[in-house]
Chain A
Amino acid sequence: MSLRTLLRHETILALVAVVLLVALAFQSAQFFTGANLLNQGRLMTEVGLVAIIMTFVIITGGIDLSVGSILGLTAILTGVFWQNLGLPLMAAAGLAIAVGTFCGFVNGFVITRFGVPPLIATLATLALYRGLAEGISQARSVRGYPDWFYVLGQGNILGVPTQLWILIAFAILASVLLAATRIGRSIYAIGANEVAAFFSGLPVNRTKIAVYTASGFAAALAGVIFVSRVSTTRSDMGTGLELDAITAVVLGGTSIYGGRGSVIGTLIGLVVIQSLKNGLSLAGIKAEGTAVLIGLMLIGAILMTTAFNKRRA
């Protein structure tokens, strides 16, 4: 795996993204307006935050299916802590994020301490966390937040949606962490060969727990942003988020078998998916239609990369 092949996948994907953007711009006059693009950035943030850390998770050779449920649980808890426990909203949101982060830690703990395959562990917690959200909320929603809270999800800073700044900061931090630090290199090493990484003295379990905890944190942060964007909490928020995030990661060239991938690839993957969704909805196709496309893209992207790898090997 040389740097050149890595660049090649991402350059190809970036070209696809550019072609797609140009095609959509010709197809609909509404698409290439500043307002629409910024709005798409706003809609992309929640999946984006989750997908960036999902890149880390998948590079270690794992997967996290519980992110959508963590998002839902955090959203519900934000409302419940604020309204039912009477905490100040800032503290309520902070506490909800802490719980979401802890949910991620539980995933990591179960996976490393008991050796449960990540797929099964997070499938179980997917049900558990969503179930807790449903049980706690009892299908009631919490609305009527103070105005300042909506700045996070609906406001702008310097003309750019607030949450897009968060996504950008998050992306830069994650890229640097993954590409240029010891932690980042050990994440690749674990994904490439866990046993070898262990015998090289890398803290395998600690790194994996940290990655799943970070995944919980990203999903929780996305949950609070989600609440602020749509002004309400519901227990079914974030359903299917894991699929969108995994698709973006895989489309971005990260190997589902672990060991390689990049944050930049994931970001380009996100842009491709979001612009397709947007283009389709401008063309009058409903959200369900795009789900079909995302499913096809997920399978197609992996089919292509495995075919490509087979030829090289």
Chain B
Amino acid sequence: MAVLSQASTLSTRKPQNSRPFIARLMTDYGQECVIIAAILLLFVAVGLYNPRFLSTSNLTTIFSGNAYIAVAAIGMSMVIITGHIDVSVGALIGVLATISGTLAVSGYPVWVAWGAPILLGMAVNFIVGWLVAFARIPSIVVTLGMMSILRGGLISITGGTWISGLPKAFMIAQWKPFGLPFPIIAMVVLTLLAAWWMRNFPFGRSLYAVGGNPEAAKATGISSERRVLAVFVIHGAIAGIATILFATQLQVIQSTVPPNLELTVITAAVIGGVSILGGSGTVIGSTLAAILFAAIGSALIFVNVSAYWLRAVIGGLILITVLADMIRRRPKK
């Protein structure tokens, strides 16, 4: 899609040390600050309305239970920053969770059950990335097709049965080092690692160039094909990690695709400030947005709004953010 790569503005997030810290924070991380403000506002407002919203158990559910979405959104942000999209990630996580759970139940050592989704995620996305980068098929078409293949394949093989009797050692999401749930630690560490890599390493920075202006990137000697392929493979590995967090949080795994997961992940990336046109955004924003979403979903229940409206709220939010993004990027006359 030519439109996706039209953005010609490269990321301008270069630290300028002459300005005061606060001003730098606001210009470099404006979107992130807005989301943090929104999260705080939501917690205060809903907490005043219904104090049980701020109970430890509910906060754990919000942060720990949705960490896998934030993790998946890291990879999705990279994909969108290079100017592509992946609508198959939800189906991929469903398939990988089933494989991982089946391995764990069949008596394989836990490191096999944890390692398999990461390697398989990389393998599947290697195919997707190759089709997108080298066969030049638009990513939306490849991933729509892949979504259909993975989802259909999963249901026709397993029939949607539940995998139960998972071994205790497998449940890494229930592990609490230093009293903090492991998914939260994984989410924070991965987000910071990815943000650091994308800001300070040539390869990480080149992703912005590829998404911002592919022709210019090519002229500077960056092979956008290889970058795109690499990003899809990294995205697959991250989806594998997200799968482990997702598959090990409950005692059972339902061998179907979690409904609308891809949409939630894409939305988190987009609302987190990753421009839909590619070329800018950070993964810190996407993780914050994933937390905001989880909080909104939980808040709806606490203020007695039917959960059936959740998707309409999320859909409305995406549309508003996308429109705001377009207005923000419109050249000033």
Contacts and interface: CB of A to CB of B under 8 A. Distances in A.
B310 interface: yes
Contacts of A247: 145
A138 B276 contact: no
B141 to A, nearest CB: 6
A7 B145 CA distance: 26
Given A298-B148, A299-B142, A138 B318 contact: no
Q: Which one of A124, A240, A243 has the greatest number of beta carbons of chain B within 10 Å?
A: A124
Contacts of B316: 128, 131
Interface stretch (A32-40, A222-230, A282-290): A282-290
Interface string B123-146: 000000001000111101110111
A52 B17 CA distance: 57
Contacts, number: 148
Given A131-B309, A137-B308, A306-B137, A292 B148 contact: yes
Interface string B1-12: 111100000000
A110 B323 contact: yes
A269 interface: no
B147 interface: yes
A288 B156 contact: yes
A295 B276 contact: no
Interface stretch (B21-29, B260-268, B283-291): B260-268
A307 B136 CA distance: 10
A139 interface: yes
Contact of A116 (B131, B267, B322): B322
A114 B320 CA distance: 11
Contact of B2 (A61, A120, A124, A292): A61
A292 B152 contact: yes
A116 B323 contact: yes
Contacts of B145: 247, 294-296, 298-299
Interface SS of chain A: helix
B152 A126 contact: no
Interface string A115-146: 11111110111111111101101110000000
Interface of B: 1-4, 85, 87, 131, 135-138, 140-142, 144-153, 155-156, 260, 263, 266-267, 270, 276-277, 306, 308-316, 318-319, 322-323, 326-327, 330
Interface of A: 61, 63, 110, 114-121, 123-132, 134-135, 137-139, 235, 240, 243, 246-247, 250, 256-257, 285-286, 288-296, 298-299, 302-303, 306-307
16 contacts: A117-B3, A117-B276, A118-B3, A119-B85, A120-B322, A127-B311, A131-B314, A134-B308, A235-B308, A243-B148, A256-B141, A289-B156, A290-B152, A291-B151, A292-B153, A299-B142
